[in-house]
Amino acid sequence: MSKNQILFTISCVLLLATLFLWAGMWWQKTHPPVSPPQIITLPPEIPLLPVPPVPVLNERLGALAVATASATSSPYDLSSSPFSASTSSSATEFPLPPVLPSLSASAALAIDLDTSAILLEKNPHLSLPPASSIKMMTALIAMETYSLDQIITIAPSDLTSSNAINLQAGEQLTVADLIQAMLVNSSNESAQALANHSPQGPSAFIQRMNARAQELHLTDTTFISPEGFDYPEQKTSARDLALLAQALLTDPNLAQIVSLPRTTILAATGEIHELDNTNQFLAHPPTLALADGRRLPATFSGIKTGTTPAAGEVLVTLATVDGRRLLLVVLGSRNRYSDSTTILTWIFNHYTWVDFSGHPR
């Protein structure tokens, strides 16, 4: 083979190699590799949380079932919710909510704690005297100010109000004892002692109560005293008391104290005080008689009563009925227990809890 033939052969080989290289580069550019599908899983230490059933008015259950059965989009898409506003002629029409029950209370609020759904409200932002419901905030600030085992010696200045549990000057009690007396038996003198003996004095204690109210967004509330006496400037609302109660319930010690039907405290100086809870629901819970003939027993876990001439009867209570935890507030009532029972009965006559499939739970 001549030299020219050898050079020609090499040139052809190089040309073919170049063509194959360009062809490969073109193929990769026009046909990118397909990645395998990625499967995203939660780590075992982060389990999926169940979604609690949602309370729905009975009058809307039928329409909810129709809307759910015909829905083609995700149940989590709020734009397709059967409760979303629509002007379409094909939109599901719901009846108006039922008439609220007749209550003697000037203001009332009922909340399903598991979903934060408001089930009933009457004048939720109306400013009214709080009476002893104010002691929920006094307890929160006392928990921040003292250790529970700290000893406080009762002074004559702590006994200027009604002395419901018969404290004596010179008596020594722990902060835990005073908080129990204040929340269980609504002891005014215990509330005053907790404020009076704080390191910065009673005025600073009240200032801290109001500062905490701002932190909790209690926009209708002003505190003047630690026990809840009637002052023109001292006010709150049903909405604010519901928020305050939820803050109290986050403290395990306070949540346990307000649930006590009765307790006994023993002073370091030997005095014994038997305390009955002022919330009558704890000792005598009602059974709800529903319109369909069912009778549902209710249990209660606190939270705080209040009574003054200007406030009337006040009650903030945590009820459990048929497995549902409900927070109730009544202010300015003539009969707080009747009003609260009426609210609970109305709720279970008009609401059913359903899951996202639209089925009653």
Q: Out of 158-162, 240-244, 346-350, pick the least confident.
A: 158-162
Q: How confident is the model at residue 54 (pLDDT cuts 50, 70, 90)?
A: confident
Q: Please say if the pLDDT value at position 331 is more than 60.
A: yes
| Max CA separation in the chain (angstroms) | 128
Q: Please say if the pLDDT value at position 89 is more than 90.
A: no
Q: Which residues on neighbouring strands pair with residue 236, listed in sequence order?
A: 128
pLDDT at res. 355:
79
Q: How confident is the model at residue 68 (pLDDT cuts 50, 70, 90)?
A: very low
The predicted model gives 169-188 an average pLDDT of 97
Q: Which residues on neighbouring strands pair with residue 315, listed in sequence order?
A: 305, 330
- The residue ranges of every structural domain in the chain are 107-126+282-351, 131-277
Name the pairing type of β-strands 272-276 and 287-289: unpaired
Whether residue 347 is preceded by a cis peptide bond, meaning omega within 30 degrees of 0, is no
**Six token digits for residue 164:** 């419901």
The predicted model gives 318-345 an average pLDDT of 98
Q: How confident is the model at residue 92 (pLDDT cuts 50, 70, 90)?
A: very low
Cβ atoms of 165 and 181 within 8 Å: the answer is yes
Helix runs in the chain, H state only? 3-30, 61-70, 135-145, 175-184, 188-196, 202-215, 238-249, 252-258, 280-283, 336-350
DSSP 235: B
pLDDT at res. 56:
80
Question: Chain-centre distance of CA 155, in angstroms?
Answer: 37
Q: How confident is the model at residue 99 (pLDDT cuts 50, 70, 90)?
A: confident
pTM, whole model, 2 decimals?
A: 0.78
Residues near 177 by Cβ (< 8 Å), separated by ≥ 6? Answer: 265, 266, 267
Q: Judging by beta carbons within 10 Å of its beta carbon (0-12, 13-18, 19+), is residue 2 exposed, middle or buried?
A: exposed
pLDDT at res. 239:
97
Architecture of domain 131-277: 3-Layer(aba) Sandwich (3.40)
The predicted model gives 141-161 an average pLDDT of 94
Q: How far apart are the first and last CA of the chain?
A: 93
Nearest to 321 by CA among 293, 292, 352: 352
Q: Please say if the pLDDT value at position 95 is more than 60.
A: no
Share of the chain residues as helix, strand and coil, in percent rounded to the nearest 5: 35, 20, 40
Residue type at 138?
Answer: T
Q: Out of 1-5, 6-10, 71-75, 255-259, pick the least confident.
A: 71-75
pLDDT at res. 39:
47
Cβ atoms of 303 and 91 within 8 Å: the answer is no
- Rounded CA-CA distance 324/297 in Å is 12
Residue type at 32?
Answer: P
Q: Please say if the pLDDT value at position 65 is more than 50.
A: no
Q: Out of 21-25, 140-144, 166-170, 216-220, pick the least confident.
A: 21-25
Q: Please say if the pLDDT value at position 30 is more than 90.
A: no
Query: How high is the mean pLDDT of the chain?
Result: 84
